[in-house]
Amino acid sequence: MNNRTDYPPWIATFDRWARIGHGIVLHGIVRDVFYDPDQREYVDLAEFLSRRLLRDKSFGFTIAGKWDQIDALTFPDGKMLARFRKAADGKAQPTPSGRGQPYAAGNDGPQPKQPTQPTSLYADPADLLAATRSVIEESNERLLLILDWNQYWLSSPAPLAGDERGWLLRLAKMMRGPSPVPMDGDHLRQSPSLIVILTSDLGTLPPTLYQGEPRIHRIVVPTPSRPERKGFVLRHFDDLRVQQPKASAEAQPAIAGSSRDQIADLLADRTDRLQYADLRQLLSLSLHSETPLTAEQLIMLYRYGEHRSPWRDLSEEKVRRIEEIIRRRVIGQDAAIRHVADIVIAAFMGLSGLQHSASRCQPKGRMFFVGPTGVGKTELAKALAEYLFGEDSACIRYDMSEYKEEHNAQRLVGAPPGYVGFEAGGRLTNAIRARPFSVVLFDEIEKAHPSIFDIFLQILEDGRLTDGQGETAYFGEAVVVLTSNIGAADAPETDDPAVIHDHFVHAVEHHFNHVLGRPELLNRLGENIVVFNPIRDTSFRSAILDHKSRPIRVHLDERYGLNLMISDALKAQLVETARQEHGGRGVVNAIESNLVNPLARFLFDRLHQIRRGRTIHVDRQDGDVNFELREE
Tens digits of residue pLDDT in 545-570: 788 888 888 888 888 888 888 888 88
At residue 257, the pLDDT reads: 42
For each of the domains in the chain, give its residue range(s) and CATH number, in order of start. Answer: 10-221 (3.40.50), 226-308 (no CATH), 333-531 (3.40.50.300), 538-631 (1.10.8.60)
Contact 463, 476 (CB under 8 A): yes
Q: What beta strand segments (E) does 210-259 contain?
A: 216-221
pLDDT > 50? residue 115:
no
Lowest mean pLDDT of 72-86, 253-267, 467-481, 581-595, name the range: 253-267
What average pLDDT score do residues 391-414 get? 88
Please give the pLDDT value at position 237.
93
Contacts made by residues 285-292, CB under 8 angstroms, sequence distance 24+: 286/240, 286/241, 286/242, 287/239, 287/241, 289/241, 292/241, 292/242, 292/243
Portion of the chain with pLDDT greater than 90, in percent? 36
Q: What is the mean pLDDT of the chain?
A: 83
438-445: average pLDDT = 94
Number of Cβ within 10 Å of residue 28's Cβ equals: 18
What does the alpha-carbon distance between residue 278 and residue 281 come to, in Å, rounded to a whole number?
A: 5
- The confidence score (pLDDT) of residue 360 equals 65
% of the chain surpassing 70 pLDDT: 86
**pLDDT at site 223:** 93
Q: Is the model's pLDDT at 116 over the cut of 50?
A: no
pLDDT in tens, 168-199: 888 888 888 777 777 877 767 777 899 999 99
Rounded to an integer, what distance in angstroms lies between the CA atom of residue 134 and that of residue 464? Answer: 48
Q: Please tell me the least confidently modeled range out of 3-12, 453-462, 606-615.
A: 3-12
Confidence of residue 105 (pLDDT cuts 50, 70, 90): very low
Residue 401, pLDDT > 70, answer yes
Per-residue pLDDT, averaged over 332-357, amounts to 82
pLDDT for 109: 46
114, 76 Cβ separation under 8 angstroms: no
What average pLDDT score do residues 247-252 get? 41
Q: What pLDDT sits at residue 415?
A: 73
Asked if the model's pLDDT at residue 95 lies above 60, the reply is: no
Torsion of CA 113, 114, 120, 121, to 10 degrees: -170
Contact 34, 8 (CB under 8 A): yes
Do 382 and 496 contact (CB within 8 A), yes or no? no
When pLDDT is averaged across residues 446-464 and rounded to a whole number, the result is: 89
The answer, yes or no, to whether residue 110 has pLDDT greater than 60, is no
Give the residue, 615 or 468, on which the prediction is more confident: 615
478-494: per-residue pLDDT in tens?
999 999 989 887 888 78
For the chain, the farthest-separated pair of C-alpha atoms sits apart, in whole angstroms, at 111
pLDDT value of residue 175: 83
- pLDDT bucket at 248, cuts 50 / 70 / 90: very low
Q: How confident is the model at residue 5 (pLDDT cuts 50, 70, 90)?
A: low
Instruction: Give the model's pLDDT for residue 495.
Output: 76
Lowest mean pLDDT among 105-114, 534-543, 556-565: 105-114
Cβ 476 vs Cβ 303: under 8 Å: yes
Residue 295 has what pLDDT? Answer: 87
Q: Please enumerate, as own/partner, the contacts of 277-285 that have beta carbons within 8 Å and a separation of 24 or more.
A: 277/31, 277/32, 277/33, 278/302, 279/224, 279/229, 279/232, 279/233, 280/33, 280/42, 282/240, 283/236, 283/239, 283/240
The pLDDT of residue 97: 46
- pTM for the full model? 0.68
Higher-scoring residue by pLDDT: 282, 150: 282
> How many Cβ atoms are within 10 Å of 551's Cβ, its own excluded?
9
Predicted pLDDT of residue 353 = 61
Question: Per-residue pLDDT averaged across 32-56, rounded?
Answer: 94
pLDDT recorded at residue 279: 95
How many angstroms separate the Cα of 109 from the Cα of each of 44, 114, 262, 586?
18, 16, 37, 80
| Residue range 53-74, pLDDT digits in tens | 999 999 999 999 999 989 999 9
Pick the range with the lowest mean pLDDT from 151-155, 462-466, 510-514, 625-629: 151-155
Instruction: Evaluate if residue 524 carries a pLDDT over 70.
Output: yes
Q: Is it the case that residue 3 has pLDDT exceeding 70?
A: no
Mean pLDDT of 114-126: 66
Predicted local distance difference test score (pLDDT) of residue 444: 92
Q: What is the mean pLDDT of residues 241-265?
A: 64
Please compute the mean of the pLDDT values over residues 452-470 and round it to a whole number. 87
pLDDT above 70: residue 515: yes
**Range of weakest confidence among 10-14, 186-190, 338-342, 518-522:** 186-190
Report the pLDDT value the prediction gives residue 566, as an integer from 0 to 100: 86
Q: With a cut of 50, say whether residue 252 has pLDDT above it.
A: no
**Within its chain, how far is the Cα of 501 from the centroid?**
33
Q: Give the pLDDT confidence score for residue 26 in this predicted structure.
A: 96
pLDDT computed for residue 359 by the predictor: 55
